[in-house]
Amino acid sequence: MTNFNLPIRPRRLRHTPAMRRMVRETHLSPADFIYPIFVRHGEGIRQPIPSMPGIAQLSVDEAVTEAGKAAALGVPAVILFGIPAEKDPIGLENFAADGIVQQATRAIKQAHPDLLVVTDVCLCEYTDHGHCGIVHGEEITNDETLEVLQRVALSHARAGADIVAPSGMMDGMVSAIRSKLDEYNYTGVSILSYAVKYASSYYGSFRDAADGAPKFGDRKTHQMDYGNTREARREVALDLAEGADMIMVKPALAYLDIIRQTREQCDVPVAAYNVSGEYAMVKAAAEKGWLEEKSGAGNVDRHQTRRRRHHSDLPCARCGALAWIKTVQKAKLARQFPKT
Ligand code: ZN
């Protein structure tokens, strides 16, 4: 047998599972995740979402139980999305003291005080037209919407939210919310801004989940065009200047370049949203037997790890299913991800 003259052989470090484990560069743990929950009115309700197998709309009592399971797995935060009892042009329940998200926030914080509650701040789940802002004719107005966002964020803070997450891509949303929170002495409530949110058909299943599809038109006058990267920089810079504590990039998988660009642009935590469509794709392919959902070579772990490699600090698991986070937990990984 001839030994070729190859003093450098990268395969040496892949020889055994222990060796591969030792030299692995990127690690995931449940502490890296934010777990999304859809809350609705009622009691004892788990209303399955057809396009997201394994995920359900939950009544407040069930949401408290689900949040407890996430906390027990080591997940530090949940993010709440509300399905109101009734919809109207403004979305009045969105800022009502007894609105569904406000109720769920209070109940979860009472049952699990150490678990962080993040709340989605947008209009689309609450408005009868399904748009992210106040609509005149077919126009989504910006500044009028900001006043509603201020009221929503304030009511979430009053209910006990630790972090508010404006997702509607309105100009000035971060500064409007920050000034309102500060005016009422909620200076400790953080803002996780969806600074970089692209218009995407990956959100289809979410609209199923939250009953938030627009009744006319689309979201392209506020969400970003998928062809743009410099615009993402501008949005990030603006939101940081307005006082965002953390930045979200959404969707995740199709925008790994943007996640990395954002990580390199700023020093605040960067979250990446693994959206409903990304979850649905893996689920659908697994159902057909075209890929394995959770195995060691599985896609769940890989999707999340890939985002981590692209330097997102907080993979926001739209994937939602606790089973997926359990998969990650099984790996029992603890090493710190190196900062760039
Ligand atoms: Zn919206």
Q: Please report which confidence band the pLDDT of residue 53 belongs to, taking 50, 70 and 90 as the band edges.
A: confident
Residue 88 in any domain: the answer is: yes
pLDDT tens sequence across 211-248: 667 777 788 888 888 899 999 999 999 999 999 999 99
96-110, 127-141, 148-162, 196-210: least confidently modelled range: 196-210
Does residue 274 surpass a pLDDT of 70?
yes
Residue 251 in any domain: the answer is: yes
The domain that holds 179 is classified in CATH as 3.20.20.70
Q: Please report which confidence band the pLDDT of residue 107 belongs to, taking 50, 70 and 90 as the band edges.
A: very high
pLDDT score of 303: 59
Residue 92 in any domain: the answer is: yes
Residue 335 in any domain: the answer is: no
> Which range of residues forms the domain containing residue 182?
25-330
C-beta separation of 192 from 116 below 8 A:
no
Pairing of strands 190-197, 46-48: unpaired
Catalytic residue among 180, 197, 283, 294: 197
Q: Please report which confidence band the pLDDT of residue 261 belongs to, taking 50, 70 and 90 as the band edges.
A: very high
Ligand 1 centre from 121 Cα, in Å?
A: 8
- Total domain count for the chain? 1
* Environment of ion ligand 1 (residues, CB < 5 A): 122, 124, 132, 168
Ligand 1 centre from 25 Cα, in Å?
A: 36
Alpha carbon 274 to chain centroid, angstroms: 7
Ligand 1 centre from 93 Cα, in Å?
A: 15
Place of tokens 């949303």: 173
3-state secondary structure 54-102: CCEEEEHHHHHHHHHHHHHCCCCEEEEEEECCCCECCCHHHHCCCCHHH
CA–CA separation, 230 and 249 (whole Å): 14
Does residue 252 surpass a pLDDT of 90?
no
* 228 or 112, higher pLDDT: 112
SS3 5: coil
Question: Which residues face 247 on adjacent strands?
Answer: 193, 270
Start-end of H helices in the chain: 17-23, 60-72, 100-111, 143-159, 173-183, 204-210, 230-242, 256-265, 276-287, 299-309, 322-330
Question: Which residues face 248 on adjacent strands?
Answer: 271
Does residue 39 surpass a pLDDT of 90?
yes
**By CB neighbour count within 10 A (0-12 exposed, 13-18 middle, 19+ buried), where does 101 fall?**
buried
Percentage, residues of the chain above pLDDT 90: 60
Q: State in Å, rounded, how far the first CA of the chain is from the last one.
A: 44
Catalytic annotation present for 215:
no
Ligand 1 centre from 274 Cα, in Å?
A: 16
pLDDT score of 284: 85
3-state secondary structure 287-314: HCCCCCCCCCCCHHHHHHHHHHHCCCCE
Catalytic annotation present for 250:
yes
* 95 or 27, higher pLDDT: 95
Residue 210 in any domain: the answer is: yes
Residue 17 in any domain: the answer is: no
**Largest Cα span, the chain:** 79
Ligand 1 centre from 303 Cα, in Å?
A: 25
Average pLDDT over residues 189-201: 91
CA–CA separation, 234 and 94 (whole Å): 29
CA–CA separation, 207 and 110 (whole Å): 29
SS3 135: strand
Percentage, residues of the chain above pLDDT 70: 84
Ligand 1 centre from 122 Cα, in Å?
A: 5
SS3 285: helix
Ligand 1 centre from 280 Cα, in Å?
A: 20
Count other C-beta atoms under 10 Å from residue 274's C-beta: 27
Ligand 1 centre from 125 Cα, in Å?
A: 7
pLDDT tens sequence across 82-93: 999 999 999 999
Average pLDDT over residues 118-125: 95
Ligand 1 centre from 168 Cα, in Å?
A: 5
Nearest of 32, 25, 112, 134 to residue 66 by alpha carbon: 112
Catalytic residue among 109, 180, 250, 283: 250
Residue 13 in any domain: the answer is: no
Does residue 128 surpass a pLDDT of 60?
yes
User: What is the model's pTM?
Assistant: 0.86
pLDDT tens sequence across 290-330: 887 765 334 555 556 666 665 565 555 444 455 555 555 43
Q: Please, how many CA atoms are within 13 Å of residue 122, restricted to the half-sphere of its CB?
A: 28
SS3 32: helix
16-25, 36-45, 139-148, 276-285: least confidently modelled range: 276-285
Average pLDDT over residues 139-165: 97
Residue 224 in any domain: the answer is: yes
